[in-house]
Amino acid sequence: MTLQPIIGLEIHVQLKTKSKMFCGCSANYFGSEPNTHTCPVCLGLPGALPVANEEAIRRSIMVGLALNCDVNMNSHFDRKNYYYPDLPKGYQITQFYKPVVINGWIEIEVGDDMKRIRIREAHQEEDAAKSIHKANSTLVDFNKSGVPLLEIVTEPDMTNGHEAWLYATKIRQLIRYLGVSDCDMEKGSMRCEPTISLKLGVDKEGGLITTPLAEIKNIGSLKAVGKAVEFEIMRQTAEYEKTGELANEVNKTTRGWDAIKQETFLQREKEGAADYRYIPEQDIPPMEFTEEYIEEIRASLPELPDAKKKRFMEEYGLNDYDATILTSTRVKADWFEEACKAVVEMAKELGIEDLTKLYKDVTNWINTELKAYQKTHKVSFADLLAKPEHIAEISILLVEKKISGKIAKNVLAEVLETGKSPKTIVKEKELVQVSDEGEIQVVCQKVLDANPSQVGQYKKGKEGLLGFFVGQVMKETKGKANPKVVNDVLLKLLKG
């Protein structure tokens, strides 16, 4: 019997609004002294009245539209009743009956194919406070209490850890493009909870026969999302083979992820579909959106990653790989386009027509040299001393054959250290490439005269020595000689 993994994902994202979801407290609490961002509403004091944060709802609709969702034009809040020390009201304000957005999808790239993952809904809610467990006591910090959350729920459309990782990565990229959250899993502004079970077949009524469902919490990174799912598939397979246990009303479990042991562990068991006694929240009026409002939000959306990638391939002639890297973040994509804009202007002034070559050069500088530099020095694009115009300038100098590829790399290294323009560096260090045949011939002759035995060997048929002579000439000219000219001149001299 084949066990088919069925995986869904719930992702909580903290929306970076100024104030919290239902009160005026600052939502920018990270690193603050405990309990300094609080008021009667987010402390859950009796009689305090919540007021919904319009900006948070607007941001949730932005995410929903980017996820191809329908907006519930009449949406409202509900109370999810449960007791926990970090939830002093005894209920969380969330959405159950009418989530703000429903029925969406996004595509992930699995190998060479695009796979559609359906989004069941995304609902607006509030974050809980934070419990801090000490040796003999538990402290509660209410700074996080009431911070706006959007919970994005998929249909169980994924079948392995890789797909779950791809999906979560795509959601993070999309939300960062929208600028509505920093999606930092380490700081808890993005939390991923996969649900996993294995399908055995379908019963007479058409219901799925599956292994007991497990939900995994406390996953600290996107990579760990994939690993946790893979581990859980293995564990459930082994468990089923041993016990044959199937899902029922009461055997859903919640498991945690142990990043050190790289395995999931049992947190809570024997949970049925918990009865949260959802009731509409009476303290907040229902919401009603107009078409105009939704269309205004739609028009305000930035170009999204997939569309941007497609445009980069068409407009700049990039391949799939380069376009994927360049559009991975909005900052990088903007940086690339600024460099392209600069290169177009410079090319126009100089009458250079082959822009495709220049775009390719700009791409290569960003995707190789800059990427490597950023990785080793841990600098963001904003903090780079090299600016888009510098990359444009280097690309132009190369196309004009003013500098060689090797010199260009050295020039860029210096731009990255000093912030000086490539033109200035080339001028100051007299790095302009020498293409004058006469000038090069003098150096070539000198090199040949200094290496008579190698010349003899070459003439006896050891033609591989040409590279040695070229190397010597480049060394002599500090890399400034045009390698093509050097090659031609050497061949001519060695023939004679």
Of the pair 25, 339, the CB lying nearest Zn ion is at 25
Q: Among Zn ion, Mn ion, none, what binds residue 25 when CB lies within 5 to 8 Å by partner kind?
A: Zn ion
Other Cβ atoms within 10 Å of 232 Cβ, number: 26
Q: Among Mn ion, Zn ion, none, what binds residue 415 when CB lies within 5 to 8 Å by partner kind?
A: none
Least separation in angstroms between CB 94 and Zn ion: 17
Of the pair 276, 468, the CB lying nearest Mn ion is at 276
Place of tokens 């607007």: 58
d(CA 70, CA 370): 40
Residues 312, 315, 321, 327, Cα dihedral to 10°: -10
Of the pair 41, 100, the CB lying nearest Zn ion is at 41
Least separation in angstroms between CB 125 and Mn ion: 5
Residue nearest to Mn ion (CB): 151
d(CA 277, CA 495): 94
Nearest to 160 by CA among 56, 220, 104, 236: 236
Tally: H helices and E strands in the chain: 16, 17
Q: Among Zn ion, Mn ion, none, what binds residue 61 when CB lies within 5 to 8 Å by partner kind?
A: none
Least separation in angstroms between CB 127 and Zn ion: 12
Q: Among Mn ion, Zn ion, none, what binds residue 101 when CB lies within 5 to 8 Å by partner kind?
A: none
279-280: strand order across its sheet = 91-94, 78-81, 279-280
SS3 call for 106: strand
Of the pair 192, 473, the CB lying nearest Mn ion is at 192
Q: Among Zn ion, Mn ion, none, what binds residue 466 when CB lies within 5 to 8 Å by partner kind?
A: none
- Which distant-in-sequence residues (6+ apart) come within 8 Å of 168 by Cβ? 9, 11, 192, 222, 225
Of the pair 14, 211, the CB lying nearest Mn ion is at 14
d(CA 243, CA 260): 28
Q: Among Mn ion, Zn ion, none, what binds residue 39 when CB lies within 5 to 8 Å by partner kind?
A: Zn ion
Of the pair 168, 431, the CB lying nearest Mn ion is at 168
Place of tokens 């994939």: 226
Of the pair 149, 426, the CB lying nearest Mn ion is at 149
Q: Among Mn ion, Zn ion, none, what binds residue 385 when CB lies within 5 to 8 Å by partner kind?
A: none
d(CA 455, CA 393): 40
Of the pair 41, 228, the CB lying nearest Zn ion is at 41
SS3 call for 76: coil
SS3 call for 321: helix
Least separation in angstroms between CB 143 and Zn ion: 9
Helix (H) or strand (E) holding 481: none
Q: Alpha helices of 381-465 — where are they, by DSSP H?
A: 388-399, 405-418, 422-428, 437-450, 452-459
Least separation in angstroms between CB 61 and Mn ion: 18
Residue type at 192? Answer: C
Nearest to 477 by CA among 411, 430, 416, 410: 430
State the residues that interact with Mn ion by CB under 5 A: 151
Of the pair 121, 151, the CB lying nearest Mn ion is at 151
d(CA 463, CA 459): 8
Least separation in angstroms between CB 87 and Mn ion: 12
Of the pair 151, 369, the CB lying nearest Mn ion is at 151
Nearest to 383 by CA among 340, 327, 335: 335
Least separation in angstroms between CB 12 and Mn ion: 6
State the residues that interact with Zn ion by CB under 5 A: 23, 25, 39, 41-42
Q: Among Zn ion, Mn ion, none, what binds residue 42 when CB lies within 5 to 8 Å by partner kind?
A: Zn ion
Least separation in angstroms between CB 78 and Mn ion: 12
- Which distant-in-sequence residues (6+ apart) come within 8 Å of 154 by Cβ? 8, 9, 10, 117, 118, 119, 120, 167
Phi, then psi, of 180 in degrees rounded to 5: -100, -10
Least separation in angstroms between CB 68 and Mn ion: 21
Do 402 and 433 form a contact (C-beta atoms < 8 A)? yes
Q: Among Zn ion, Mn ion, none, what binds residue 151 when CB lies within 5 to 8 Å by partner kind?
A: Mn ion
Least separation in angstroms between CB 26 and Zn ion: 9
Q: Among Zn ion, Mn ion, none, what binds residue 232 when CB lies within 5 to 8 Å by partner kind?
A: none
